[in-house]
Amino acid sequence: MTETAKPWTVDDVKGEMSCPRCGASPQPPGAWSNRWTCSQHGAIFPLSPVVTPNSLLTRQLCKRSDVPLWLVWPLIRGWVIGAVLSAGDEASGVQATAVAVSGPNPFGGAADLVLVAEEQGVGLGAGLAGVDGIDPGDAVKAEPQARVQVEGRSVPLWCVTGRADCAVYAGHWEGRWLWAILKPHTAGALLLEDLVLADLRTLGSEAEMLPYGAPPPWLAGWSGYDH
C-alpha cells in the first residue's frame, strides 16, 4: 500500500523551478495570482529542477505523490536512474512525475528512457517530448503501435510526433497520461519487448537498492524553446 502523502510544498525542492511545458522560469504566486505562472502558458504546475537523484530523493517523492512514478521493472541490466522529477504546487500537490533511466541502446551506444505520469492538463510529457499542445491530441485515436504491461494488464501506447531525435509514445492509465520518451529514436525498439512497468511507490525496500547515475545531458539542460 502507498503511504499517506504529506502536504507538498515547493520548499521540499531545492533549485529553480521551471514551466513543465517549455522549461522557462515561471513567476511564483503573488499579489495578483495564487498560481505559478509562465509568460507563455499562463497558470502552470511548476517543475522541480533536474538534479542528480538518490534513494532519499526518490523515497521522499514516493511518500508525497498521489501520481505513479513509473519504472521498467525489473530494471534493464546495465541501466541506471538518472533523474526523478515532479510538477505541482502547494494547493494541489504533485500533479506529474517523470523518471529517467539510461543504459545501453539495443542498436549500439547509449540511450535514455523517460516515463511520465501526469494528470490531465499538466503538459509535462508533451513538453519533454517536444509535442505541440498540452497532450497527445488525435494521435491516440488510431490503432496503438506499442504496449507496456502494468499490474498484469496490457496498456496500449500510440506513437506521437515530437522531438526529431526521440521516439515518443503516449497512452492512459487510470485516467492519467502515461508517456514513454526514448532517445535516440532507435531506442524505441525497447518497446517491442512489451516492457513491464512498476510504480516506484509500491516497491518498498527494493527501491533502496536501485542504481543511480547522472541526469541525461539533454534533460538536465532541457528547455522547451530548444525543440
**pLDDT tens, per residue, the chain with 227 residues:** 344 444 434 444 446 899 999 999 999 998 778 899 999 999 999 999 999 999 999 999 999 999 999 999 999 999 999 999 999 999 999 999 999 999 999 999 999 999 999 999 999 999 999 999 999 999 998 899 999 999 999 999 999 999 999 999 999 999 999 999 999 999 999 999 889 999 999 998 888 899 999 999 999 877 554 44
Domain residue spans of the chain: 47-226
d(CA 187, CA 1): 33
Instruction: Give the residue from 90, 154, 144, 96 showing the smallest Cα distance to 120.
Output: 96
pLDDT at 15: 65
Which cell numbers in the block locate residue 111? 540511450
Asked if residues 94 and 88 have their Cβ atoms less than 8 Å apart, the reply is: yes
Q: Give the CB-side neighbour count of residue 2, counting CA atoms within 13 A.
A: 17
d(CA 173, CA 154): 10
pLDDT at 221: 78
pLDDT at 11: 43
- CA angle 122/125/131 to nearest 5° reads 105
Sheet holding 153-159, edge to edge: 70-72, 196-199, 146-150, 153-159, 167-173, 176-183, 110-118, 93-104, 80-89
3-state SS track over the chain: CCCCCCCCCHHHCCCCCECCCCCCCCECCCCCCCCEEECCCEEECCECCCCCCCHHHHHHHHHHCCCCCEEECCCCCCCEEEEEEEEEECCCEEEEEEEEEEEECCCCCEEEEEEEEECCCCCHHHHHHCCCCCCCHHHHHCCCCEEEEECCEEEEEEECCCCCCCEEEEEEECCEEEEEEEECHHHHHHHHHCCEEEEHHHCHHHHHHCCECCCCHHHHCCCHHHC
pTM (two decimals)? 0.91
d(CA 146, CA 170): 9
pLDDT at 35: 93
pLDDT at 207: 84
